[in-house]
């Protein structure tokens, strides 16, 4: 139920803001708006404000199907317009007015994203401290000399300057951008929060990353923040319970390996298989200050094409958290920066998908969005606001794409009109619209297929 409510609220807000951008600029440009609708189909709610802007008689509607919305304006191309009202028609307005009205919708979504990111910065959000867990064996991080327990003080791309790292999530964002953009990342790490650090270069440009998924961070080697190697949540009749493990046990050694953190211990457990058979390990643990030995034999599980070991317990204590909060100006500036970064990354990913350099598996549809809406809402207000900001940027960028059925396609028509002095002919308009519908349906089909694969595959 939470997923459905969070999804509908998200769609309703983002669509309303998008259409309000069109509506408000249309009114400012002297175009009569006949209907402002959020959703399609049978109207669930409709009203006309008693006080309207000069020249307006707009009906506001909430439709039964919230997937989309529209602003219907007076237009001679859509029906007869009395001669005394042509001054209010969209098609009679100057080119700059028509372009501004079309662009206002996507820009409204981008402005909303700035406000949402800024609001999160002002409220503050709890995030893991930027302390690295043990790197994945054979990864870039391990090859670069990282061993786990390092505090990331500053980070930045190799062709720029390094800046303070506020949290582990900030570091993950830099890793994502660097891997997908093919840019090396420079870290300044130290053994603690204070003190001198050393430089570490992660050659992310050598990865040729195509997918933004968990495997990406496995290849980089930085998967999670540092956690103490503590056992918790032992399930009844699990391998952990049969071995005698209890909540709060601290693992000091597994086999011949000295355990330093939860990530390393998870890797050791996953690797404790030989083909399809589990491999028993001798563990040295500490319980209430007293060390003693146990033998732990995991159970074998299939994860896709991999065979891994599991013990039926939570491995690793919760990471140390920090509250990331900014002042009014810093928060607003960082909100604008994050919106710009996400928008540019989205454009680059779309471009790379078009040329086949990035997998189409990165496209997401309504099922994935609904799933993330529910999960983010369950995590709290700030997580849900961050989700809304991300989707708002995506909606704004998507609508600026030069597809004929989208706002970007109409802006392309106006660019042609501005350069040649004449509008696109009705014949070509019809052809382009049909082609745009086909492309959009193809994208939606791929996105829906990816949704089903992620959620049910």
Which residue do the tokens 């709890």 mark?
A: 126
The answer to whether residue 337 is catalytic is no
> What is the Cα Rg of the chain in Å?
27
137 and 219 Cβ atoms separated by less than 8 Å: no
**Beta strands at 306-310 and 33-47: parallel, antiparallel or unpaired:** unpaired
- 403: tokens are 């597809």
81 and 74 Cβ atoms separated by less than 8 Å: yes
Which residue out of 19, 161, 302, 417 is catalytically annotated?
A: 19
Contacts of 97 (CB under 8 A, 6+ apart): 29, 30, 31
Nearest by Cα to 9 from 125, 1, 327: 1
Total residue length of the chain: 457
Q: What is the rounded distance in angstroms from the CA atom of residue 134 to the CA atom of residue 303?
A: 22
Residues marked active site are found at: 19
């Amino acid at each position: 139920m939470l997923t459905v409510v969070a999804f509908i609220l998200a769609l309703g807000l983002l669509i309303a803001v998008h259409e309000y951008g069109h509506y408000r600029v249309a009114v400012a440009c002297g175009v009569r708006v006949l209907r402002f609708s959020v959703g399609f189909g049978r109207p669930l709610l409709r009203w006309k404000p008693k006080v309207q802007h000069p020249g307006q008689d707009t009906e506001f509607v909430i439709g039964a199907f919230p997937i989309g919305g529209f602003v219907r304006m007076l237009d001679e191309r859509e029906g007869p317009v009395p001669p005394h009202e042509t001054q209010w028609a969209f098609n009679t307005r100057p080119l700059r007015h028509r372009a501004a009205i079309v662009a206002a919708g996507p820009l409204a979504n981008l402005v909303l994203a700035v406000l949402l990111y800024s609001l999160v910065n002002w409220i503050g959000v709890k995030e893991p401290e930027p302390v690295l867990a043990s790197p994945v064996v054979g990864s870039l991080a391990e090859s670069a000399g990282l061993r786990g327990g390092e505090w990331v003080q500053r980070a930045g791309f190799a062709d720029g300057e390094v800046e303070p790292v506020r949290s582990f999530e900030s570091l993950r964002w830099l890793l994502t951008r660097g891997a997908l953009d093919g840019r090396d990342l420079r870290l300044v790490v130290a053994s603690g929060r204070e003190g001198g650090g050393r430089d570490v270069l992660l050659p992310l440009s050598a990865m040729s990353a195509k997918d933004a998924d968990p495997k990406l961070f496995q290849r980089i080697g930085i998967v999670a923040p540092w956690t103490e190697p503590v056992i918790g949540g032992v399930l009844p009749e699990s391998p952990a319970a049969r071995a005698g493990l209890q909540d709060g046990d601290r693992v000091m050694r597994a086999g011949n390996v000295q355990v330093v953190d939860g990530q390393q211990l998870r890797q050791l457990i996953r690797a404790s298989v030989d083909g399809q058979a589990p491999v028993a390990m001798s563990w040295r643990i500490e319980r209430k200050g007293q060390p003693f030995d146990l033998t732990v034999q995991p159970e074998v599980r299939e994860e896709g094409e991999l065979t891994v070991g599991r013990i039926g317990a939570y491995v690793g204590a919760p990471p140390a958290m920090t509250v990331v909060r900014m002042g009014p100006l810093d928060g607003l500036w960082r909100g604008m920066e994050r919106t710009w970064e996400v928008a540019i990354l989205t454009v680059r990913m779309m471009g790379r998908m078009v040329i086949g350099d990035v997998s189409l598996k990165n496209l997401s549809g309504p099922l994935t969005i609904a799933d993330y809406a529910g999960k983010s809402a369950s995590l709290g207000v700030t997580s849900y606001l961050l989700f809304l900001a991300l989707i708002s940027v995506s909606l704004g960028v998507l609508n600026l794409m030069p597809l004929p059925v989208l706002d970007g396609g109409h802006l392309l028509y106006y660019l042609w009109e501005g350069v040649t002095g004449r509008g696109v002919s009705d014949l070509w308009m019809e052809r382009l619209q049909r082609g745009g519908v086909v492309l959009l349906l193809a994208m939606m089909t791929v996105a829906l297929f990816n949704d089903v694969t992620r959620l049910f595959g």
